[in-house]
Amino acid sequence: MYVAVKGGEAAIANAHALLADRRRGDRSVPALRLDQIVEQLALGVDRVMSEGSLYDRELAALAIVQARGDMIEAIFLVRAYRTTLPRFGYTRAIDTGAMLVERRVSATYKDLPGGQLLGPTFDYTHRLLDPELAAGGEVAEPLQRASDADAMPRVSAILAREGLIEPDGDMPQDHIPGDITREPLEFPMARDIRLQALSRGDEGFLLALGYSTQRGYARNHPFVGEVRIGEVELELDVPELPFAVPLGSARVTECQMVNQFKGSTKAPPQFTRGYGLVFGQSERKAMAMALCDRALRATEFGEDVVAAAQDEEFVISHSDNVQATGFVEHLKLPHYVDFQAELDLVRRMRAEHDARENAGKAEEKREAAE
């Protein structure tokens, strides 16, 4: 039971003023501009967009500033704002095969059609603090070359030509994908619904679950078939027009995990898929999502569900950091009546315990006297 706090309006107003003061910080230090955050804290902006389910870099940057850098609070702000926006329709499914690729790596094939592109990555840095960044020195322009016109087929398509990986499947013509932002979650879930929930799930939670699958808690043996990052076109079907209308582009990260599968009575031995797709550049999140996706397909492949990462209801119900934050932080709200009830109960139980203990001691004294 919650009890309303009366007489606290002035204290709350002062708390808001103090929060604004702390957010601004030292007035002699220039205030952050949104374009600085968008350009120089791009990965944080990408995470807020991905888990906030809203692709808008400036709004994500504003949320980061307003939340004083608290990513989950920023995600909460973006989601709240998202609920106020009108919905015009659903775009066509994006074609990541036609992505304008900036980064593309594979752990399965060294020589891929279209080649591998390292792109902007921390993978080969030494993880040593760079004092020159503190000085704000000039940064040299990167080397550039003309892009190749070679196609970049997915690694899964290469395996599919040999029939060594499960079919990708075709979307039924009359199928309307679910929307977890408009419909309540129901278990068990269709895979498209589950992927939506994973895509905006908490990166840390999914990373921990993905890690657990590698430590023997789901018996998955994955290979990164491919991670690709780049721009994809967004198109909208308009009933009055015979063609799709281009709306612009979005930067996404896609991961295809390739997993072993020993086969069953219905399917021969082959590789299976785990899939991850998120807004912006976030390959760690996309990889963790792909690991969890494959683990959650255990029932589909007739595998025993023996680990937390394979339990759909556990994973999806606890992956949303906004819901998790709300439930944990609600414990700060007044619970005075509940606590008083618990306090009275513990006092009565303690009194009964002490009475029994005293009676037992008295009985022992009588027996000793006899």
Please list the rounded mean pLDDT of every run of 10 residues in the chain (370 residues).
60 93 96 96 98 97 98 98 92 92 93 90 92 87 76 86 83 76 92 95 98 90 94 94 94 95 76 96 97 95 93 97 95 91 96 94 84
Q: CA 38, CA 32: separation in Å to the nearest integer?
A: 11
pLDDT of residue 32: 95
* Closest by Cα among 164, 206, 177, 182 to 315: 206
CB 68 within 8 A of CB 79: no
pLDDT of residue 65: 98
CB 61 within 8 A of CB 38: yes
Question: Can you point out the beta strands (E) in 123-243?
Answer: 222-237
Q: CA 162, CA 164: separation in Å to the nearest integer?
A: 5
Q: CA 185, CA 194: separation in Å to the nearest integer?
A: 9
CB 36 within 8 A of CB 369: no
pLDDT of residue 1: 39
Beta carbons within 8 Å of 347's beta carbon, 6+ residues apart: none
Q: CA 251, CA 222: separation in Å to the nearest integer?
A: 25
pLDDT of residue 2: 44
Q: CA 291, CA 359: separation in Å to the nearest integer?
A: 60
pLDDT of residue 367: 83
Q: Please, how many CA atoms are within 13 Å of residue 59, restricted to the half-sphere of its CB? A: 16
Q: CA 214, CA 218: separation in Å to the nearest integer?
A: 7
Q: Please, how many CA atoms are within 13 Å of residue 312, restricted to the half-sphere of its CB? A: 18
Distance spanning both ends of the chain, measured CA to CA: 54
CB 287 within 8 A of CB 255: yes
